[in-house]
Amino acid sequence: MNIADRTAPARAVTAQTADLTVVGGAGHVGVPLVLSFAAQGLTVNINDLNTASLDTLRSGRVPFIERGADVLLTKALADQRLFFTSKPSEISTKGPVIVTIGTPVDEFLNPVRRVIQDCVDPLLPHMRDGQLLILRSTLFPGTTDWIDAHIRRQGRDLKIAFCPERIVQGHGVEELSKMPQIVSGLTPDAEEEAAALFRSVAPELVILTPMEAEFAKLFNNAYRYIEFAITNQFYLIARSAGLDYGKILQGMKHNYPRAKGIPTPGFAAGPCLVKDTMQLLAFARNEFALGNAAIMVNEGLPLHIVSDLRRDFDLGSMTVGLLGMAFKAESDDPRASLSYKLKNALANHARAVLTTDPLVTNDPSLLPLDEVISRSDLLILCTPHRCYKDADLKGKPVVDIWGLLENANVVY
Ligand SMILES: NC(=O)c1ccc[n+]([C@@H]2O[C@H](COP(=O)([O-])OP(=O)(O)OC[C@H]3O[C@@H](n4cnc5c(N)ncnc54)[C@H](O)[C@@H]3O)[C@@H](O)[C@H]2O)c1
């Protein structure tokens, strides 16, 4: 692909001749990436199995909360820079194919490398030799080399690059233009072509080998996850001593630069941090003591809350209302949210558990906030959405581990 061509009128272009294809392009990583390239004048083939999300995008709506995406989507559609396809046979053969599909861990906490192979295999007959395949999903170390060997065994000769995504979900559009982009290629020409592409959206490139890049991404996420775990562990220790951790944390951080980055305690989960820590754990043959401990602490936090509440309240006679089911504040994404772990744990002990979230749209069991407040005997702030800060909780007792609520009847 010639980046210099990008101001050419998009009208003559088809899905098969778009400047690049993003496979998984309707997902949380795909959408901001697609829109960032389109904003630079590139034509993009959004290839995704999820036809409902493709239809939503085609109609000018973003399927989930992504700041700044609506404006870019409107412009990209008006400029006819986007193409929507759902079959491997419909990808473009002109430029790079970027893969941004999900990379889960299985029920034994092992990475499922097969999902990458299952995605790439059907693409191969529709790619030309010499075409660039950029893996952008978070990968178990060694996967880029492994997929290259797998492709070569079939007598195919693609250029392979690994360029991990490091955005914070919901802020991808904003961050892609500000954050350095890690680029790695299995050959110098793969690396150079991937670098040329990402130079069009990123302010700076960091060149690593694929294996280094795979680790860099996992280390970034595991480090963040451990940061949340340590503050959660401090919280539990302070609580067991009968102290207010929020007050201690404020004291620790006040004008003390080395403590500036300590996060507030709270639920730390979601689709990436815990899963990526597990990938490292699996790579290290379970000898990643800090990662292991972080999972125990973060995943254990809702269980500690339940056991403390069982001690302090007669839960069996109470209806408990959970405020916020998304995995983090101002997000509509409930994937791997600890709010659901808490809900399940409470269901064994409380008379009833009610849930609400103003942003999550795909959980039919959610109720309006007012109803949850009025029907509940005890509330738990699970996700610190801004809207809860000033909500009238009608004096109901509330659990607030985040320290968000100022004028509420906080009992824990
Ligand atoms: N969510 C984030 O903020 C974030 C940040 C950095 C990295 N990552 C990593 O990026 C990857 C994607 O995460 P996500 O949150 O965007 O997932 P997602 O589920 O939101 O999006 C994945 C998309 O891929 C599509 N898809 C799956 N298999 C496909 C196939 N064979 N062909 C075409 N489309 C297919 C799905 O329909 C979905 O739209 C994961 O590896 C994740 O760990 C995510």
pLDDT digits (tens, 9 = 90+) for 302-339: 999 999 999 999 999 999 999 999 999 999 999 999 99
Cα–Cα distance measured from residue 395 to residue 405, given in angstroms and rounded to the nearest whole number: 12
Q: Which of 101, 105, 134, 214 to mutate to test the pocket of ligand 1 (most atoms within 8 A of CB)?
A: 101
CATH topology of domain 3-213: Rossmann fold (3.40.50)
Pocket lined around ligand 1, Cβ cut-off 6 Å: 23-24, 26-30, 47-50, 53, 100-103, 119, 137-138, 165-167, 169, 271-272
Other C-beta atoms lying within 10 Å of the C-beta of residue 406: 9
What confidence score (pLDDT) does residue 314 get?
97
Please report the atom of ligand 1 found closest to the CA of residue 139: 41
> Average pLDDT in the 235-264 region?
96
Minimal-distance CA residue to ligand 1 atom 2: 169
Q: Are 169 and 330 in contact (CB under 8 A)?
A: no
> Average pLDDT in the 61-84 region?
98
Q: Give the pLDDT band of residue 11 (cuts 50, 70, 90).
A: low
What confidence score (pLDDT) does residue 92 get?
97
Minimal-distance CA residue to ligand 1 atom 37: 50
What confidence score (pLDDT) does residue 190 get?
98
Taking 70 as the threshold, does the pLDDT of residue 7 lie above it? no
Q: Name the percent of the chain lying above pLDDT 90.
A: 92
Cα–Cα distance measured from residue 193 to residue 160, given in angstroms and rounded to the nearest whole number: 10
Domain 3-213 and domain 221-410, same fold? Reply is yes
Q: Name the percent of the chain lying above pLDDT 70.
A: 97
Taking 60 as the threshold, does the pLDDT of residue 358 lie above it? yes
Classify domain 221-410 by CATH architecture: 3-Layer(aba) Sandwich (3.40)
Q: Which of 133, 165, 171, 280 to mutate to test the pocket of ligand 1 (most atoms within 8 A of CB)?
A: 165
CA-nearest of 386, 412, 385, 390 to 401 is: 412
Cα–Cα distance measured from residue 71 to residue 331, given in angstroms and rounded to the nearest whole number: 19
What confidence score (pLDDT) does residue 10 get?
56
Q: What is the model's pTM?
A: 0.94
Taking 80 as the threshold, does the pLDDT of residue 5 lie above it? no
Tokens (6 digits) for 65:
């909360």
What confidence score (pLDDT) does residue 106 get?
87
- Which phi and psi angles does 398 have, rounded to 5°? -135, 145
What confidence score (pLDDT) does residue 381 get?
98
What confidence score (pLDDT) does residue 9 get?
52
Q: Residue for token digits 């294996």?
A: 211
What confidence score (pLDDT) does residue 4 get?
44
What confidence score (pLDDT) does residue 1 get?
47
> Average pLDDT in the 28-39 region?
98
CA-nearest of 360, 362, 363, 364 to 385 is: 360
Q: Which of 4-8, 239-243, 342-346, 365-369 has the lowest mean pLDDT?
A: 4-8
Q: Where are the domains of the chain?
A: 3-213, 221-410
Taking 50 as the threshold, does the pLDDT of residue 132 lie above it? yes
> Average pLDDT in the 69-88 region?
98
